[in-house]
Structure formats: structure tokens, C-alpha cells
Amino acid sequence: MSDFFLVAEIKEVSKKKEGFLSVLPFTDFPERFYSGLKVFIDVFNDKNPFIVEKSIYEKGKLLLKFKNFNTAEDVSFLVGKKIFITEDELTNLPENSFYIHDLVGCKVYKDGKFFGNLIDVLSLPANDVYVVQNEKGEEILVPAVTSFVKNVDVKNKKIDLTDNFEYENDED
């Protein structure tokens, strides 16, 4: 079986008579939740397939209904669960865009010297922010913008920062 990639979390039951669930997407591509999409939800420590029957936006929320689940009673056990897809369902990204799972674990360099490991990416309204943990265990936030990030090579798990990025504890 392919690797699984987290794309959403189920927050609550919505439209109780129809079995819809309110979902928090972790993707820049919410249109990925099309009718007929096979997703996987971790139930009883196993990723089980579910088919999206319908997806709608209502009052700013993404609502999903799964095939053969038609009432609040049918879906309430899914609240709090995470939704995954397989690699086959990943969206092709535009140039200079990356999946978070490809970035996490990259080694980050500044001025050719090891700076730290990328451990997380914060998706914020203005831009993403890389969370880099240095050798002292400190977490340094690096805005993921071209003025601070010179090069991203996910294939070799390497990120180079520009000279513009300054960290208060930089040793000269």
C-alpha cells in the first residue's frame, strides 16, 4: 500500500439528517474533495477506505458526505478522525511549491553551514513559515519567502537560506 498523506480532520457532525461532516482541510486544494474520491480514515488503528459522495461549502465550512453513511448516528464515530489520501491522489503543484511532507526533515543551511532541521511548516495567511530546530534545540521561525529562502531541493532534502535572513544568535 502507498504512503498516506494527511489532508483534513473531521471536526463535527453537520446536517444531521443527511450524515454530513464538517471538515477542516489541511490543503490549498479543497477542490480535491470531489464526488467519488476514495479517502482513508484511521478507524481501529487501520486506514479504512471511504468514498466521498458529496462535498459542499456552506457558511465558510467544507462539508463532506460519505457513501452509505446517511445520518448523524452513522458518522458520529468519525468526529476527531483524520482524513488521508494516497500518493496517487496528490495534486500536481505549481513551480516552487512544495508539499509539507516533502519539506519536513530537510536540512537547512545558512552561508554554507548547517543551520538546523526543518521540523514543521506553519501555514499562515501572508505566507508559510518554516519551523527550523537548531542543534541547541531552539526553534527558529523562517518566513518561506524568496528574500529569505534561496533554494529548496526536496529531492536531496536541503534548503539554503539567503544572506538576508538574520538570526539574533548568529555567531560571526
pLDDT mean over 115-127? 90
pLDDT for the residue 1: 41
Quote the CATH superfamily of domain 4-89: RimM (2.40.30.60)
R_g (Cα) of the chain, nearest Å:
19
pLDDT for the residue 83: 93
Question: Which CATH number describes the domain made up of 100-161?
Answer: 2.30.30.240
Residue 137 DSSP class: S
Q: According to the model, what pLDDT value does residue 109 have?
A: 96
Do β-strands 158-161 and 107-110 pair in parallel, antiparallel, or remain unpaired?
A: parallel
**Per residue in 34-91, pLDDT tens?**
999 999 999 988 999 999 999 998 888 899 999 999 999 999 999 999 999 998 888 7
Q: Which helix (H) or strand (E) holds 72?
A: helix 72-75
Burial of 151 (0-12, 13-18, 19+ CB in 10 A): exposed
- The pLDDT value recorded for residue 100 is 84
All structural domains of the chain with their residue ranges: 4-89, 100-161
